[in-house]
Amino acid sequence: MEDSNKRILILVAVSVVLLLVYPYVLNKLYPQKEVKKQAAKEAPVAAVKEKRPSPALKDKAPAAPVLPVEEELITVETPLYKAVLTTYGGGVRSWELKRYRKTRKKDSPLIDVAKPLNGLTPLASRLEAEGLPELAVFTPSAKSLSLDKGERKRLTLTWTAPNGMKTVKTYLFSGDNYTVKSEVKVINGSNGPVEGFIKTDVTWAYARAAKKKKSGAYAYHEGPVIMVKGKVKRQPLEAGREEGSEDISWIGLEDKYFISAILPERDTGNLLWESTVTTLDKKNAARVSVGIPFDLGPGDEALLGYRAYLGPKEYKLLKAEGWRFEEAIEFGFFSFIAKPLLVVLNFFQRFVVNYGIAIILLTIVIKIAFYPLTKHSLTSMKEMQKIQPQLLAIKEKYKKNKEKMNKEMMELYRRHKINPLGGCLPMILQIPVFIGLYEVLAVAIELRHAPFALWIQDLSAKDPYYVTPLLMGASMFIQQKMTPTAMDPTQAKMMLFMPVLMTFLFLNFPSGLVLYWLVNNILSIMQQYQIHRTGSGGSGAAAGPSKPARSSRRKPAKA
């Protein structure tokens, strides 16, 4: 059996490597599934000829409508956003989020989550039927809507084709959230049967990432995302197409912090979906659609119902939508840890307002939870330090007989009731917590542009002056010096390099994460000092071989 000190050294090294390669490991564990792709060519859709539902939505490049009727714009304003809709397909020209700007500057432009593509706008409803234009020019029930908090207002858009085919699209806006409830109803007012498809799209134009960013360790997904059959699928932002008729909970287009998505009504029958990525004007153009086929006799109607969400990936808002919509946040492999950490962090923030202080409180809670393990770990390491001379003697005596050496070492451990891995347990358990918290601080929009104090004005960004990483490295060095060790001089020198390595590793980490680790180290130093000073109730609790000797000299003096 190898020396436990070497195990600890290896564990620390592996922990650092894990932090560095975690995103790559995650991609290996959850690779993007290869799907049957179809080149996204810009070709017109042929009219439906068979009198049965098509097995999948047909792809068609978005194109501006060629219609004699002039476009009208409708403004919708709520406390959360200002939207501009168009009568062309009932789509969205712009959807500006009032609480989010591109940068921290006060005059920075608002985030606009509406990304029109080549004449096709998000939430535009399209018809695919012979003799009908793809994008209808609707007549709106109002030119503008203004909503206060708690209000709900409806916008109705209507269009009737020359042959009597009628389309009615309704939006129900709320002043309390980013969700819009919508219905698209097609009524056959003609004298004969009409068949085709009705679809609603979400579009987004993504800037092409540089090669370095695409392969970067901490790059987050941009592009189509879908919850299908209870699992989240993220389509790579490469030219290709996916489609299906499976039961989906939601489908949308995302970046790190924002999402535009469609959540179909549960009772929608024959629902079809598609996701397409093409190249357009040096950008990656993405479009997702939901739709239904229809085959209507005179007087019949078809209905496509859904909710649309265009807004931030704020955990509590997404969770309130149901259907596991909160999984649109890319928490990674340790999401089962990241989610409760975010809930606790938000709980603290409601009381202290400042997310930096909330991180400090969360760190204290985590440290208290791990205190029994930390105490046990320090005790184990102190015991290992005490028997180190005997271990060295055994290794020297049986250096030519590994089997006998391991047997004698195990006997020594049993005699002193020592678990050689006891010092590693807290570190092992804290690695998932650390990674889970990293994901929270890296992707939670609640931390985006959230200030702490002084020079740290964005907890999701790195410390601009690298003060906290340097303090973190210094605290780690002090903590290491205080930790009992039985390593040989070579191993001890190698461990002294760890604070330097971790400091460089943390230089570009989110300042909120560095703050967590710095406070964690300071609390660890305080805990170690307290445990060494008071003892832990056993022989292993002593601060070292010299302290009992000093104690024995003091007692007679006091007497």
Asked if residue 544 belongs to a domain, the reply is: no
Which tokens belong to 171? 């939006």
* 3-state SS track over 5-32: HHHHHHHHHHHHHHHHHHHHHHHHHCCC
Asked if residue 464 belongs to a domain, the reply is: yes
Contact 293, 194 (CB under 8 A): no
Higher local confidence (pLDDT), 403 or 376: 403
pLDDT at 289: 93
Same domain membership, residue 154 and residue 228: yes
| Segment 523-536, tens digit of pLDDT | 888 877 776 676 54
Last residue of a domain, one of 331, 363, 396: 331
CA distance 370 to 374: 6
Asked if residue 546 belongs to a domain, the reply is: no
Which tokens belong to 158? 């209507």
pLDDT at residue 466 tops 80: yes
| Segment 296-306, tens digit of pLDDT | 888 899 999 99
Asked if residue 425 belongs to a domain, the reply is: yes
pLDDT at 16: 53
- The type of residue at 90 is G
Contact 478, 409 (CB under 8 A): no
Least confident of 26-35, 64-73, 457-466: 26-35
Same domain membership, residue 298 and residue 355: no
Residue 428 — very low, low, confident or very high, per pLDDT cuts 50/70/90?
A: confident
The alpha carbon dihedral of 315, 318, 324, 325 has a sign of negative
| Segment 306-351, tens digit of pLDDT | 999 999 999 999 999 989 999 999 988 888 899 999 999 999 999 9
Higher local confidence (pLDDT), 527 or 483: 527
Last residue of a domain, one of 300, 331, 362: 331
Same domain membership, residue 359 and residue 276: no
Least confident of 18-27, 141-150, 379-388, 416-425: 18-27
pLDDT at residue 139 tops 90: yes
Mean pLDDT score, 244-268: 89
| Segment 377-386, tens digit of pLDDT | 766 676 676 7
pLDDT at 42: 34
Q: Domain of 486? A: 4-23+343-534
Residue 547 — very low, low, confident or very high, per pLDDT cuts 50/70/90?
A: very low
CA distance 257 to 463: 20
Highest mean pLDDT among 200-204, 508-512, 537-541: 200-204
Secondary element (H or E) of residue 240: strand 240-244
Q: For the chain, how many residues are written? A: 559
Best CA proximity match to 176, nearest among 81, 273, 271, 72? 81
Mean pLDDT score, 516-520: 89
CA distance 403 to 101: 66
Asked if residue 552 belongs to a domain, the reply is: no
pLDDT at residue 140 tops 70: yes
The alpha carbon dihedral of 537, 543, 545, 547 has a sign of negative
Same domain membership, residue 348 and residue 305: no
Global pTM?
0.77
Asked if residue 555 belongs to a domain, the reply is: no
- Output the DSSP codes for 275-340: EEEEEETTEEEEEEEEEEEEEE-TT-EEEEEEEEEEEE--HHHHHHT-TTGGGGS---TTHHHHHH
pLDDT at 29: 47
Last residue of a domain, one of 303, 331, 359: 331
Task: List the CATH number of the domain containing 179.
Answer: 2.70.98.90
Same domain membership, residue 311 and residue 366: no
Same domain membership, residue 368 and residue 488: yes
Same domain membership, residue 312 and residue 235: yes
Judged on CB neighbours under 10 Å (0-12, 13-18, 19+), 188 is buried
Highest mean pLDDT among 91-105, 358-372, 497-511, 530-544: 91-105
pLDDT at 445: 92
Same domain membership, residue 387 and residue 287: no
What is the number of structural domains in the chain?
2
Q: What share of the chain is helix, strand, coil (3-state, %, to 5)?
A: 35, 25, 35
Contact 268, 304 (CB under 8 A): yes
| Segment 146-168, tens digit of pLDDT | 999 999 999 999 999 888 889 99
Same domain membership, residue 357 and residue 324: no
Asked if residue 35 belongs to a domain, the reply is: no
Same domain membership, residue 72 and residue 14: no
Same domain membership, residue 475 and residue 327: no
Kindly compute the dihedral angle of the four CA atoms of residues 169, 174, 178, 181, in this order, to the nearest 10 degrees: -30
Residue 229 — very low, low, confident or very high, per pLDDT cuts 50/70/90?
A: confident
CA distance 325 to 225: 11
Asked if residue 525 belongs to a domain, the reply is: yes
pLDDT at 273: 92
Residue 261 — very low, low, confident or very high, per pLDDT cuts 50/70/90?
A: very high
Same domain membership, residue 131 and residue 65: yes
CA distance 430 to 440: 15
